Amino acid sequence: MNEFHDLKYKAKKQIAPYMKTLILISLLYFVLAFLNRYLRITYAEYPATVFGFDYTAKKSITYGSYLFLPVLGLSNNIIYLNITRGIAPKVSDLFVGFRDWWSIVKLDFVSGFFMVCWFMVFIIPGIVKTYSYSMAVYILAENKGMRPCEAIGRSRAMMTGHKMELFRLDLSLIGYHLLNFITLGIASIWVRPYLSSIHANFYCKLKGSKHGVKSIPIYDS
Residue 94: is its pLDDT beyond 80?
Answer: yes
Instruction: Kindly indicate the confidence band of residue 106, based on its pLDDT and cuts at 50, 70 and 90.
Output: very high
- Lowest-confidence range among 17-26, 30-39, 99-108, 159-168? 30-39
Across 57-77, average pLDDT:
75
CB-count burial class (<10 Å; 0-12, 13-18, 19+) for 128:
middle
Per-residue pLDDT at 39:
61
Instruction: Kindly indicate the confidence band of residue 124, based on its pLDDT and cuts at 50, 70 and 90.
Output: confident
In angstroms, the Cα distances linking 118 to 84, 124, 184 are 33, 9, 29
Per-residue pLDDT at 216:
42
In angstroms, the Cα distances linking 23 to 20, 41, 189 are 5, 27, 6
Per-residue pLDDT at 40:
59
When comparing pLDDT for 55 and 166, which is higher?
Answer: 166
